[in-house]
Amino acid sequence: MKHNLLDTKDYIVFLVYFVIVAAYGLYIYNKKKSASTGSKDYFLAEGSLTWWAIGASLIASNISAEQFIGMSGSGFKMGLAIATYEWMAAATLIVVAVFFIPVYLKNKISTMPQFLSQRYNGTVAMIMAVFWLLLYVVVNLTSILYLGALAVSSISGFGLEFCMYAIAVFAIIITLGGMKVIGYTDVIQVFFLILGGLATTYLALNLVSDHYGTKGILEGYHLMSTKASEHFHMILKPENENYIDLPGLSVLIGGMWIVNLNYWGCNQYITQRALGADLKTARGGILFAAFLKLLMPIIVVLPGIAAYVLYKDGAFQSEMVQGGSVNPDRAYPVLLNLLPAGLKGLSFAALTAAVVASLAGKANSIATIFTLDIYKKVIKPDATEKSLVVTGKVTIIVAMILGVLIAPHLGIDKKGGFQYIQEYTGFVSPGIFAMFILGFFWKKTTSDAALFATIGGFMLSLVLKFLPLWTDLSWLSGMGFSVKNSSGVFEIPFIDRMGFVFVFCVIGMYIISMLQFKRGGESKGLEIDAKMFKTTTGFAVGALLIVGLLVALYGIYW
């Protein structure tokens, strides 16, 4: 594909973005440096992030190349239905703010393995600490680096390897400043991310209206919804070829809740932003993030649908083809290459901001878990605060080097970015979520039950994944729990699979815990009282507004 390379105006816009982020990061770093040098302050920015910084940072950590490239690709392929990941996340964030965050803050939890150690025992905590480190470095860090570099390379024309190193270095600079610098620079990153994203959506809708000889973005949207009406349904029917990725009502009342509750509520990388704040600030930040989540499909899904409408009518025929077949993940870069000079630089900055902010968040979480849960507990229990911060910084650099070295060898580009990440994380999410949710709210849950959930949950996920190779699952199709894949074999959609595994883990944990209790087991329940879950009137009004908007959106696009 011909690269419509960046213009001088684009480089100026990008440079302005880079200078603003770097200068603001340096300013925050110097301003806060004198205040505290403790490890908690470095990793969690204790007490110094405002609600808007927490909310912006949550979104900046969450939105990356997998959304811009992968979700736009899914928009091209399956339409608005993929927006359920974003809109259900808004509902999930309210649940996390009301029920999860108070438990963490009341029990002074600063890392997820620390929660497991406090609630279960050191073995469970250590197994999960090592597991999370591997997951973050091998799956998340690498996919963000690779997909990000792929996108940046296709717009700028620079080589893939150069882009990967440049992004990694930029992310290291921000991450070394600690959580405060990440939190506050993320506000700027989100500003660029949303502004640049909206510019691309504006262009996409205008392209559609121009293509059909009309004017304006509203006309473009109207044309899209009539020319590709099948792309504007949130709930897919079993006969839809994409049902295997988004199985009907499961996205509203089934496994999608497990995907989201595990991601937003039991994930160091996300909760870390709120764990350094007081309850009111943390809840305010999470609510702000939920509002921003409602916006995301406009930025990442609509451009993909616009590209599909234009492709169907004969545009982008050669640009969308890669390796002899249509690659939906090309949709966003193809649109970006059509932006006028200056605006292209803004969208380029938005994409880079999304990638760099996500990398910084991931690297900070890797450093936090390694330093506080492995180094301080096992390697050097008497480490000083200063040496913990130094260890964290070294960990960030090592993790990023590993990410850059591993990423090119994983074949990430061949699998359709967004769905690939969701499915592979989904092997472990149900067990981890069962272990957390019972650990929170049922005092009798034992450590052996927790181990069963993580290991048993993973094993059952594998069994259900490969079950269609051994037996015919067509009998489940009547209930909508199995569907024909591209090879004509009936398999269980992965979102339903997660629902089944979660139920299995909860039942198993209940049986194991009750049996141990009968033999005189003891509980290590957390400190919980009903007053913790009360919210302020302001929060309740905001939450109701979000729920109302969600009901309206699902009602309109059912």
| Structural domain boundaries enclosing 547 | 8-33+42-223+251-418+530-556
Do 198 and 56 fall within a single domain?
yes
Q: Where would I find the H helices in 228-373? A: 250-253, 256-265, 268-275, 279-300, 302-312, 331-336, 343-368
Those residues with Cβ within 8 angstroms of residue 104's Cβ, 6 or more apart along the chain or in another chain: 115, 271, 274, 275
Do 376 and 325 fall within a single domain?
yes
Do 53 and 20 fall within a single domain?
yes
Which one, of 422, 416, 412, 436, lies nearest residue 498 by Cα?
422
- pLDDT for 240: 77
Q: How many angstroms separate the CA atoms of 106 and 556, rounded?
A: 40
Give backbone dihedrals phi and psi of 166, rounded to 5 degrees, phi first: -65, -45
DSSP class of 330: G
Instruction: Label each residue of 429-460 as H, E or C.
Output: HHHHHHHHHHHHHCCCCCHHHHHHHHHHHHHH
Residue position matching structure tokens 């269980």? 492
As a whole number, the mean pLDDT across the chain is 82
Q: How many angstroms separate the CA atoms of 502 and 217, rounded?
A: 43
Do 200 and 307 fall within a single domain?
yes
Do 285 and 392 fall within a single domain?
yes
Determine, yes or no, domain membership for 536: yes
Please say if the pLDDT value at position 322 is more than 50: yes
Determine, yes or no, domain membership for 239: no
> Which residues in 93-132 are b (16+ Cβ under 10 Å) and which e?
bbbbbbbbbbbbbeeebbbbbbbbbbbbbeebbbbbbeeb
Which one, of 129, 139, 39, 43, lies nearest residue 411 by Cα?
139
Which one, of 215, 168, 206, 417, lies nearest residue 306 by Cα?
206
Q: Confidence class of residue 478 from pLDDT cuts 50, 70 and 90?
A: low
Q: Which two tokens stand for residue 534?
A: 């009360």
Determine, yes or no, domain membership for 237: no
Q: How many angstroms separate the CA atoms of 454 and 458, rounded?
A: 6
Give the global pTM. Answer: 0.83
Determine, yes or no, domain membership for 67: yes
Q: How many angstroms separate the CA atoms of 380 and 466, rounded?
A: 43
- pLDDT for 95: 93
Residues linked to residue 326 through DSSP beta bridges, in sequence order: 321
Q: Return the CATH number at 369.
A: 1.20.1730.10
Do 216 and 328 fall within a single domain?
yes
Give per-residue pLDDT as tens, 112-144: 888 888 888 888 888 888 888 888 888 888 888
- pLDDT for 266: 86
Instruction: Give me the percent of the chain exceeding a pLDDT of 90.
Output: 12
> Is the CB of residue 470 less than 8 Å from the CB of residue 514?
no
- pLDDT for 106: 85
- pLDDT for 7: 82
- SS3 state of residue 321: strand
**208 class by beta-carbon count within 10 Å (0-12 exposed, 13-18 middle, 19+ buried):** buried
Do 378 and 516 fall within a single domain?
no
> Do the bridges between strand 490-491 and strand 325-326 make them parallel or antiparallel, or are there none, so unpaired?
unpaired
Determine, yes or no, domain membership for 231: no
Do 271 and 386 fall within a single domain?
yes
Q: Mean pLDDT over residues 254-280, rounded?
A: 83
Which one, of 267, 248, 232, 237, lies nearest residue 92 by Cα?
267
Q: Mean pLDDT over residues 494-508, rounded?
A: 90
- pLDDT for 45: 62
Q: Mean pLDDT over residues 236-244, rounded?
A: 79
Q: How many angstroms separate the CA atoms of 146 and 474, rounded?
A: 38
Give backbone dihedrals phi and psi of 540, rounded to 5 degrees, phi first: -60, -40
Please say if the pLDDT value at position 15 is more than 50: yes
Determine, yes or no, domain membership for 268: yes
Give per-residue pLDDT as tens, 52-96: 888 888 887 778 777 787 788 888 888 888 889 899 999 999 999
- pLDDT for 489: 74
- SS3 state of residue 529: coil
Give per-residue pLDDT as tens, 150-188: 878 877 778 888 988 998 988 888 787 777 777 777 777
CA distances from 95 to 99, 155, 208, 432, 451 (A): 6, 38, 38, 17, 25
Please say if the pLDDT value at position 32 is more than 70: no
Q: Confidence class of residue 1 from pLDDT cuts 50, 70 and 90?
A: very low
Length of the chain, in residues: 558
Q: Which two tokens stand for residue 111?
A: 């890392």
DSSP one-letter string for 216-235: SHHHHHHHHHHHTGGGS-SS
Do 282 and 312 fall within a single domain?
yes
Distance of CA 18 to the CA centre of its chain: 24
- pLDDT for 96: 92
Do 540 and 498 fall within a single domain?
no
Higher pLDDT, 480 or 131: 131
- SS3 state of residue 65: helix
- pLDDT for 541: 94
- Integer-rounded Cα Rg, in Å, for the chain is 23
- pLDDT for 417: 56
Domain count, the chain: 2
Q: Which two tokens stand for residue 397?
A: 């650099």
Give per-residue pLDDT as tens, 511-528: 998 888 777 666 677 777
Do 334 and 471 fall within a single domain?
no
Instruction: Give me the percent of the chain exceeding a pLDDT of 70.
Output: 91
Please say if the pLDDT value at position 545 is more than 80: yes
> Is the CB of residue 163 less than 8 Å from the CB of residue 153?
yes
- pLDDT for 522: 64
Q: How many angstroms separate the CA atoms of 406 and 138, rounded?
A: 7
- pLDDT for 2: 42
- pLDDT for 36: 55
Do 372 and 520 fall within a single domain?
no
Q: Confidence class of residue 406 from pLDDT cuts 50, 70 and 90?
A: confident
Q: Which two tokens stand for residue 113?
A: 């393995």
Q: Which two tokens stand for residue 309?
A: 């409408």
> Is the CB of residue 88 less than 8 Å from the CB of residue 257?
yes
